[in-house]
Structure 1
Amino acid sequence: MKFVSFTRLGRAGFGALVEGGIVDLTGRLSYDCLTLKQAILDDLLEIAGDYVQDRRPELALSDVALVPVIPDPAKILCIGVNYVAHREETKRPEVGYPTVFTRFADTQIGHGQPMVKPARSNSLDFEAELAVVIGRGGRNIAEEDALDHIAGYSCYHDGSVRDWQRHTSQFVPGKNYPATAGFGPALVTPDEVGDYRTLSITGRLNGEVVQQATLDDLIFPIPQLIAYLSAFTALSAGDVIVTGTPGGVGERREPPLFMKAGDVFEVDIPGVGLLRNPVVAEM
């Protein structure tokens, strides 16, 4: 199934994406289940499937504004340099452990919402990524059990303000400008995706392919990431793991290719979704 988070008439809600629109699930699975994160916390996604079966859509996509799939995750754990081609273009050495940094929830935007190029920088770079949303949390999750802890997958655009990212060895400043992380359009459950390693991922800037790979190119596969991350922090339902970007980023091109106002970037993962965000200048 596919689930979306949205706002409508000034209120937050969530629903199942079906042919022709959305079946509204806000308050339908239980009276106090008003968000997709709460549905995951309460283990209600299977119940949602039973509820949605044979129901016609109640809302058109045009009736709502899509917001980040999980607007308020407790943790967003991002993985850097996790494709060989990207490691090679950055001239980084091989490492024995994943490179991990954090992103703040209030930097996220939904499908169709504008990504904001900061006034302080002309180095806003694109990064197409696959996001993993945790369904069942835990500590010290074994690799062989890790996929059972996933609620679903989505597209992620980890917009990076490169000059601020390079101020120090820590990435955080360049990864947390407001409205620089696209997340959506939908959460797609593992049964619908199948083997994530067969997925392709493409990043397009103004319709031109600038990044392309398959998910089996990950240096640290998803089960290994979940095992590693859960060793040092307890993962919770609704947490987000952003798995890394392929080669082809704008900073490493000659000449560099950065996003500007008027551009449109797309993350396309067939079977998961197409995330599109226009770029605007900070006012």
Structure 2
Amino acid sequence: MKILSYIQEGVTRLGVHTEAGILDVEQALAASGLVKGTRSLTLQDLIAGGPEILSHLNGLAVQAAGGVDVSESIALLDESALQLAPCVQSPGKIICVGLNYRKHAEETNAPIPQTPILFSKFNNALAAHLEPVPLPAASQKVDYEAELVIVMGRTARNVSREEAYKYVYGYCCGNDLSARDLQMRTQQWLLGKTCDKFAPVGPYLVTADEVGDPNRLAISCTVNGELRQSSNTADMIFKCDEMISYISLHFTLEPGDMIMTGTPEGVMLGYPQEQQVYLQAGDTVTVQIEKLGQLTNTMTI
């Protein structure tokens, strides 16, 4: 199931993507008698609802896609007319894994990591599909990074690799935008990684059951229509289950937490210095991942 967030009259709402349009989650569940009250549902509410609500929603979405009226009070929405929000609204943690693709490590002349390299972004970095991303005045070297994002569905602490996927709610496209001149200013990467809107995610959060094996997904990135990155998550050094387990051994993962799993080769940092042309105002970046859709953002001043 493909879940999205959109803004209506200043309120963020949840929707389910179907071929026939967007099914409003709150209206659908209210019409079914599964939720009550006037408070808008959040992704955390949906995750907390567990398999029952997810299964029920999936059934309604299938009906809607097949042209069956799920309720007289519910009209499917035109996705192209919606103002989307980040598909994950308020993660407690945004954890990023650096140099996690073998060919990317090689292109930057970095040694292959023996353990996952972890850093973080903050919620100010979140951006939605089609949301403009301002280039920071302090940087002249903003780079793109297409990434698979894991979204947690259960509290995970000291989880084994064998059990790791049971804790995943779903996956989405992400762009780990990076101000390279700020990132490399010190040994800590944070400054160049969590500028405003530097973590676009979406357009959908696709539930784990629909994705299957996350370690075998085609992943690509274009800038103004020019292909820059083209790879497969199979090139990841540390697979998704290994990353979840490793992180959970050191600190607790909570529902809604995000893990950005690294980027493949083809980033501008990997080009010879004389060929490096970093993102400029007006450039449009599109991340595409198999089964997850396309995430597009345009750079602005």
| TM-score, normalised via structure 2 length | 0.89
SS in structure 2 opposite 1:197?
A: coil
Note if contact 1:41-1:238 (Cα within 8 Å) is conserved in structure 2: no
When the two chains are superposed, the root-mean-square deviation of aligned CA atoms in Å is 1.5
The alignment-based identity, stated in percent, is 37
One-letter amino acid of the structure 2 residue matched with residue 20 of structure 1: A
**2:57 aligned with 1:48:** yes
SS in structure 1 opposite 2:171?
A: strand
SS in structure 2 opposite 1:54?
A: helix
Mapped partners of 1:74, 1:138: distance in 2: 13
For 1:1-283, list aligned pairs within 5 A.
1-26=1-26, 28=29, 29-31=34-36, 32=39, 34-43=41-50, 44-55=53-64, 58-254=76-272, 255-281=275-301
Mapped partners of 1:64, 1:11: distance in 2: 12
Note if contact 1:115-1:181 (Cα within 8 Å) is conserved in structure 2: no
Note if contact 1:115-1:179 (Cα within 8 Å) is conserved in structure 2: yes
Q: Which has the larger radius of gyration?
A: 2
One-letter amino acid of the structure 1 residue matched with residue 22 of structure 2: I
Q: Which string of whole-angstrom CA distances, capped at 9 and with x for unpartnered residues, describes residues 157-212 of structure 1? A: 11101111111111111011111221000011122112222210001111111111
One-letter amino acid of the structure 1 residue matched with residue 290 of structure 2: P
Mapped partners of 2:3, 2:11: distance in 1: 17
| TM-score, normalised via structure 1 length | 0.95
Mapped partners of 2:193, 2:44: distance in 1: 23
Mapped partners of 1:141, 1:108: distance in 2: 27
Q: Which runs of 5+ in 1 are unaligned?
A: none
Change (3 A) 1:46 1:233: farther
Mapped partners of 1:53, 1:173: distance in 2: 44
Note if contact 2:230-2:264 (Cα within 8 Å) is conserved in structure 1: yes
Note if contact 1:210-1:248 (Cα within 8 Å) is conserved in structure 2: yes
Q: Which string of whole-angstrom CA distances, capped at 9 and with x for unpartnered residues, describes residues 199-247 of structure 1? A: 1000111111111111111000000000001111111111101000001
One-letter amino acid of the structure 2 residue matched with residue 45 of structure 1: L
Mapped partners of 2:46, 2:40: distance in 1: 6
Q: Which runs of 5+ in 2 are unaligned?
A: 70-74
How much has 1:96 moved relative to structure 2? 1.9
Which consecutive aligned stretches of 4+ in structure 1 deviate over 4 angstroms post-superposition? none
One-letter amino acid of the structure 2 residue matched with residue 263 of structure 1: D
Mapped partners of 1:84, 1:257: distance in 2: 23
Mapped partners of 1:105, 1:162: distance in 2: 20
One-letter amino acid of the structure 2 residue matched with residue 48 of structure 1: L
Aligned length: 281
SS in structure 2 opposite 1:3?
A: strand
Mapped partners of 1:209, 1:46: distance in 2: 37
